[in-house]
Amino acid sequence: MRLDKYLKISRLIKRRSVAKDACDSGKISVNDKVAKPGTEVKAGDTITMTFGEKSMTVEVLDLKEHVAKENSKDLYKIIG
């Protein structure tokens, strides 16, 4: 699954266009490498998002095409 789509479906970022912009500006990395919006994400990958002074790292647990809002937190685990 594309990184920008995963960020939107998991609701880590609200809109896919915002996720794309964050990737294009180098604020998102997958497995410690700066990622583009089309980077393929798979279960077990770690995604680090940096916005200003704050940084958040999550581990990808599952990939699904459609997820209800209340189940979106089942797709990742916050590790830092």
Average pLDDT over residues 19-45: 95
Q: Are 78 and 57 in contact (CB under 8 A)?
A: yes
- The number of helices, as runs of H, and strands, as runs of E, in the chain is 2, 5
Average pLDDT over residues 17-25: 95
User: Domains plus CATH for the chain?
Assistant: 3-78 (3.10.290.10)
Average pLDDT over residues 55-68: 93
pLDDT of residue 80: 82
- State the CB neighbour count (10 A cutoff) for residue 66: 6
Average pLDDT over residues 20-47: 95
- The pTM (predicted TM-score) of the whole model is 0.90
* pLDDT surpassing 90 at residue 1: yes
Structure tokens that stand for 37 in this block: 């919006």
Residue 28: beta bridge partners?
Answer: 49
Q: Is the dihedral of CA 53, 13, 28, 76 positive or negative?
A: positive
